[in-house]
Amino acid sequence: MEYKIILDTIWVLFTACLVFFMNLGFALVESGFTQSKNTVNILSKNFIVFAISSLAFWLIGWGLMFGDGNDFIGLKGLVGLSGADNSPATGDSYQGVYSAISWTSVPLLAKFFFQLVFAGTAATIVSGAVAERIKYVDFIIFSFFLVAIMYPITGHWIWGGGWLAKLGFWDFAGSTVVHSVGGWAALTGAIILGPRLNKYRDNKIYPIPGHNMTSATIGVFVLWLGWFGFNPGSTMAADIENISRIVITTNSAAIAGILSSTIVAWIVLGKPDLSMTINGCLAGLVAITAGCAYVGVWSSLIIGAIAGILVVYAVIFFDKIKIDDPVGALAVHLVNGIFGTLAVGLFAEDKYMPGTTGNGLFFGGGFKLFFNQLIGVVAVGIFTFVISYIIWIILKKLIGLRVSPTEEIEGLDIGEHGMEAYPEFEKVAK
């Protein structure tokens, strides 16, 4: 048993490090998709957000998410991991008492680090959607509240034994817990901030292209690699059969998303737009995250293909309603976080969900599972949207959310950080 737990602990920490490495991927994708004059600002936000997330989750978030409490919230041990450990237990090694000092489970601190990198991912999603016009300090403050309060409360409902878990809501690795929560928070921020200057005028959409597609492409490869920790790592055990299948369902959804988004963009836009291909890959990964352990490979291909189609039309849709999202975070994480969660109700097979009758609609399961998934999507969406909206409005009233028009035109690198990412390039006046 001790040997098995050692292997499980190594697996949990290794996959957590892969998820941590995704911070680099987000930094590269977001900076590549935005203008060069804001590169330092994007990189700095992606750096500091994990520091803020780490502090917030250790101080408050873990206790609210996994501490003893009720069906809505954890109430005991709110400060510094001082309470009970009710974190997810899906591996064979979790049959004993949860204790950081016993040999009956993976140690508490290993599980904490694994959950922390997920919490940090939710906050990072917000960065891209509010890029190129938000004040640095506002992003820092909002990120703290997201990881300290909003993320752990809804996470408690699903992964902490709360009311959605008891209802029969399934989200294996976080299409809702991580991606939709980050997406809803990002949506409220983008709405309240408003679009970048000159993005929408004269009833037309004026594209503001990113400055470095090389960076964005490298970034998505880093994220793709990180997802092989994100999804298989959520077994919380070195279960060779399940982690092998989850790696394949994860990869299958990604490649299907790449292909479908490229084809649809080619048809709709007239060219195989690389930015759509990149976001198609991420959309497939987000969509499969909830059901990666509950579906077969053929189903994962279908889920990824649908996600790739959705992301193209979602990017176009948000532009049409004048919600400015420079990197496509809403189309990737919000839209496909929702779709991926509902896809569990369509494609799940009870042979992959021991002890349940969890078949999705397409496998003769009836509407119950799909309905449970829909309830979870709506509940988490309403809660996160409302609380995020309140926090953004408070910040707007107290310190203001948006940089000045002059600073936005000049670039946030100079105004917010007093430096440039590419100082050696001489600026040529047009």
- DSSP class of residue 334 equals I
Other Cβ atoms within 10 Å of 168 Cβ, number: 16
- Phi-psi category of residue 132: left, alpha or beta, with phi > 0 → left and psi -120 to 50 → alpha: left
Residues 334, 336, 341, 345: is their CA dihedral positive or negative?
positive
Q: In the CATH hierarchy, which fold is given to the domain comprising 2-417?
A: Ammonium transporter fold (1.10.3430)
Secondary structure E strands in 259-407: none
Tokens of 363: 């496998």
Query: How many Å separate Cα 280 from the centre of its chain?
Result: 15
| Per-residue pLDDT at 365 | 83
Instruction: Return the closest-CA partner of residue 346 out of 367, 320, 327, 319.
Output: 367
**Distance between CA atoms of residues 349 and 359, nearest Å:** 4
Read off the pTM. Answer: 0.93
Query: How many residues are present in the chain?
Result: 430
Task: Copy the structure tokens of residue 58.
Answer: 């250790």
| Tokens matching residue 147 | 């990881």
Return d(Cα 42, Cα 237) in angstroms, integer: 35
Q: How far apart are CA 162 and CA 24, in angstroms?
A: 32
The token pair at 260 is 């479908």
Cα distance between residue 340 and residue 401, in whole Å: 32
pLDDT for the residue numbered 67: 84
Phi–psi pair at 213, nearest 5 degrees? -75, -20
Along the chain (430 residues), what's the average pLDDT of each consecutive run of 10 residues? 85 97 98 97 97 96 90 80 62 33 68 95 96 97 98 95 94 97 98 96 92 97 98 92 96 98 97 97 98 96 98 97 97 98 95 79 88 98 98 97 96 95 66
Residue 195 vs residues 104, 134, 384, 399, 417: alpha-carbon distances, Å: 52, 11, 21, 19, 22
Helix residue ranges per DSSP H, 130-167: 136-145, 151-158, 163-167
Structure tokens belonging to residue 419: 């430096």
Cβ 334 vs Cβ 175: under 8 Å: no
What backbone phi and psi angles, to 5 degrees, belong to 402? -110, 145
Strands 200-201 and 204-205: antiparallel
What are the backbone angles phi and psi of residue 36, rounded to the nearest 5°? -60, -30
Q: Which two tokens stand for residue 188?
A: 């409220």
Closest CA to 172 of 232, 129, 113: 232
Q: Yes or no: say if 111 and 85 are a contact pair by the CB < 8 Å rule.
A: yes
How far apart, in whole angstroms, are the C-alpha atoms of residue 355 and residue 230?
Answer: 24
From the list 122, 73, 141, the residue with the least C-alpha distance to 393 is: 141
3-class state of residue 353 by DSSP: coil
360, 369 Cβ separation under 8 angstroms = yes
Q: What was the pLDDT predicted at 87?
A: 67
Residues 115 and 109: their CA atoms lie apart, in Å, by 10
